[in-house]
Amino acid sequence: MPSSKPQSNHDMTWIIGGVVILLIVLFARQSLIPAKVDKRGIEPPADAFFQSNIANEPGPLLVKFGAEWCGPCKSLDKALASYSESKDSLKVVFVDTDQQPGLAAHYGVRGIPHSFLFKNGKIIDDRIGSMSIGQIKKWVASQNDL
């Protein structure tokens, strides 16, 4: 019956080498995935849609990334429609990830709906998932930068 112990120092070297390579790959992968706080340093894209609808907006605005086929996006759209009718609302911009995949990739949108609060073309905060109108109001109110 074969033993599960390494047969020689050569086998142990391969095991250690494999573990080291795995750790390097995991560390490199983690370094490539931006953390939430790093998003605030993302340079605005030279995208015409972004420039005309988001970057040139003088005040704060809420940008929602989603798609027509997405159920949670439709739910959030209803809440955002109600929110936009309230007196304390921000301008809301809807970005369809199917029509603007480059813009979605630029901001690291991996799941939808993904909402961002922008001010002067820069990200203040973001949230992933659907929200109720109350959650939207609370989120916007929690941002002192707006």
pLDDT in tens, 5-14: 656 666 777 7
CB atoms within 10 A of CB 127: 17
Round to whole Å and give the CA distance between 37 and 41.
8
Confidence (pLDDT) at 9: 67
- pLDDT tens per residue, range 86-132: 877 788 989 999 998 988 988 899 999 999 998 887 888 999 999 99
Q: Beginning with the edge strand found earlier in the chain, give each strand of the sheet holding 91-96 in spatial order.
A: 91-96, 60-66, 114-119, 122-128
Percent of the chain with pLDDT over 70: 72
* Catalytic choice (54, 73, 117, 124): 73
Per-residue pLDDT at 8: 66
Catalytic-labelled residue, pool 61, 62, 63, 70? 70
What tens digit of pLDDT does each residue of 44-58 get?
666 777 777 787 887
pTM of the complete model: 0.67
In the annotation, is 70 catalytic? yes
Q: How far apart are CA 30 and CA 20, in angstroms?
A: 15
Class of domain 44-141: alpha beta
